[in-house]
Amino acid sequence: MRAILRGLSARSGEGVSEVLARLSEQDLGTEAQRTPEPCNLPVLAHLPHCIGEVMLLDPALAAAIAAVDGDLKWMQSPTYSDRILGEGFSANYGWAEIIGPNGFFAGDDMLLGLLMLGPDRHYPDHYHPAPELYWPLTSESFWSRDGKPFVVKAPGETVWHPSMALHATITNATPLLAVWCWTRDTATPARLK
C-alpha cells in the first residue's frame, strides 16, 4: 500500500484526488491487516514480464508487487466467459483485491487492487455504479470511454471512469498490469453492454 500511495500521490488527473481522499478514510493499520486466501489464475503467466516493465516505471512498486506474488486471491467475474468474450479471454484476465473483502484490508465501500489482461485482448464495453480509476503500469494499453475512439495510455498515466460510464480496454502484444480502484458503490458488479 505504501508503494501504491506514493505512486498515486505523484500523479494528477481526473479522479486521482477522489481516490486519495477515499484511501485516507480507510483503516490500513497493522491491526486491520489480514491474510487473503491465495488463488492463482492462468493470466499470471504474464506477471513476470509485467513486473519487468513496472521496474522501468517504479522499481519500488515492482518490488512490492513481486513480494505479494502468491499471496493474492486472483478472481474473475462469474458472468464473464469465453463464450461471451471470445476464446482465450478467461486465460488472459483476472483481478485481485488489496483493499476489499478478498484483500489484505477489508475497506469501507472501497476496492483497490491489481488487474491483469493478457496480450491481444479486448475487454469490451462495460459499466458499473462505482467510479473507477485505473493506473496502467505497462505499455501498449488502449482505453475508450462513452463510445469514443480508443486512445493509448502510457505507463503511469491514469484513466478515470465516472459512475455508469461505458468503458473498454484493448491490449496489443504487451499484457496489461494496472492498479484499479472503485471509490464507492462497490456492491454492484460490472455489467457488459
pLDDT in tens, the chain (193 residues): 999 999 999 999 999 999 999 999 999 999 999 999 999 999 999 999 999 999 999 999 999 999 999 999 999 998 899 999 999 999 999 999 999 999 999 999 999 999 999 999 999 999 999 999 999 999 989 999 999 999 999 999 999 999 999 999 999 999 999 999 999 999 999 999 9
pLDDT of residue 140: 86
pLDDT of residue 142: 98
- Residue 138's CB is within 10 A of a number of other CB atoms, namely 23
Domains of the chain: 2-24+42-185 (2.60.120.10)
Cβ neighbourhood burial of 55 (10 Å; 0-12, 13-18, 19+): middle
Yes or no: say if 185 and 127 are a contact pair by the CB < 8 Å rule.
Answer: no
